[in-house]
Amino acid sequence: MDLSSTCKLSRLFGCFFTPLTCKCCVALVTIALFFRAIFLHSFSGYGVIKSNNLRLILSPSLHLESHEGIRGDKFLEVPQIVWGLNNQKIAFARACLTARMLNRTLLMPSLSASLFYKEIDLLHPISFDQVFQYERFNSLCNRFVRLGRYSDLGNQTRKYDLRKGSGRKWTVERDLEQLKQSSRGPIDKYQVISMAGKNPFLWHDHWPVKDYARVFECLVLVDEIAKEADKVVSKIRRIGRKLRSKTNFGAEGSSLSHAPYVAIHMRVEIDWMIHCKKLEQRSRISQICCSKQEIMERVGNIVGLGSTAIVYLAVADSLLNDSSILDGWKRGLVPFEKKKLGVDGIYKKHSYLIQSAIDYEVCSRADIFVGNSFSTFSSLIVLERTQRVIRRGITSSCGIDVRWPSYAYNIPGESNGPQKWMTNMSDSNLKAISYGSNAISC
């Protein structure tokens, strides 16, 4: 703005300045704009775009389109995500991290409500925002990864179909190079890169456990599902309080406000027993399958468990071929599954995916969790519980008593109980969680 323009502007406000006054105004305005730019830039909620010599201060709502966040005008599209809940969560996180590497927004993918391994046409799609909170995800993962809706696309969207490689010749290095090439040059000019081919769960892994954990933290169940989990947990604790009131735990002076419970991800279903036996043969590891009797014995030997405890058995009822899972437990351990607990009606009105999400919450909130280290479901629960322990300043639960302890019943531990289990958050990839491991930190 030159001197004459400044004086003209002053007249618009009914003020008439001398040339000397106008010069002073120019100086003051320039200084004010300079300090305003510095002040606004100091807040992380604002982004800054450079265009030649011009710096534009963006409002907080537009910061994701700046160089300081994930681009909001370029997108990544992935195939429908399939298999069990936790395989889908890993696939979703891997898709998010792939989009992050390409500096693109991930178009909100479809999950699968049903569980079919080969009949792809029977994998009933369910929108991501019917399971997890969309806005909450973007808020919690702000500047790390970003979800977008298809309505964000323009009318004339340019799409590039990129096929993910497969087979033995498609190495981790080749996959990484493909991503690097897609993040620059002619491919990056397309508004949408559409990944064609296999499920993201099977894509090569290029990211550390901490990056996956960052994405998992942003997954918050929609209120409808969370409330269903609340009902199940409340029922367990209510029964626990009644049980404690009939024992020494309910003696005068004892608090009954919090009734602790043990949750066991009891993998004894038909599909699991077939899978784990084949896995033992391929990997030559004997500590994968575990019989009902072995699980009951090891859980009963957990040091410090106490003489009375409510035990919730998380099991896929439709795949269970054993009606005696409630029988044979150590005296003092009172087992419940969905039917005995009286909550089977809550589960039956939902799809397989939602049922699994409810059970995940029930197990995650338990005072003690016991699972199988070769199960993705168990592994992600332990990862979440490990993060809670770390936030309390404890980096290892080995040899000490901590809140929210986790155990692997397929690996013998102290006093022939289950082995203590804590996720190794420094792992360079998610292989130990995606496919299981008998190296569980403790």
pLDDT at position 269: 81
Of 266, 256, 323, 275, give the one whose Cα is nearest residue 295: 266
Within 8 A by CB and 6+ apart from 34, the residues are: none
Cα-only R_g, the chain: 28
Neighbouring residues of 272: CB distance < 8 A, sequence distance ≥ 6: 319, 375
Gap between the Cα atoms of 402 and 55, Å rounded: 51
Q: pTM score > 0.75 for this model?
A: yes
Encode the chain (442 residues) as per-residue pLDDT tens digits: 444 444 444 444 344 444 444 444 445 545 554 444 444 343 333 233 232 232 222 323 333 333 368 999 999 999 999 999 999 999 999 999 999 999 999 999 999 998 765 566 667 899 999 999 999 999 999 999 999 999 999 777 789 999 998 888 999 999 999 999 999 999 999 999 999 988 999 999 999 999 999 999 999 999 999 999 999 999 999 999 888 777 654 444 444 456 789 999 999 888 788 889 999 999 888 889 999 999 999 999 998 787 788 999 998 765 555 567 899 999 889 999 999 999 999 999 999 999 999 999 999 999 999 999 999 999 999 999 999 988 888 776 565 667 889 999 999 998 899 999 999 999 999 999 999 998 887 6
For residue 219, the one-letter residue type is L
- E strands, 78-158, in order: 105-107, 110-112, 125-127, 147-148
Give the position of tokens 């040339």: 19
Give the length of the chain.
442
Q: In what order do the strands lie in the sheet with 333-336?
A: 333-336, 309-314, 261-265, 368-371, 406-412, 418-420
**Closest Cα partner for 406 from 426, 386, 376?**
386
Q: Identity (one letter) of the amino acid at 92?
A: F
For the chain, give every domain's residue range: 3-62, 75-216, 223-434
| 75-216 classified as CATH 2.60.120.260 | no
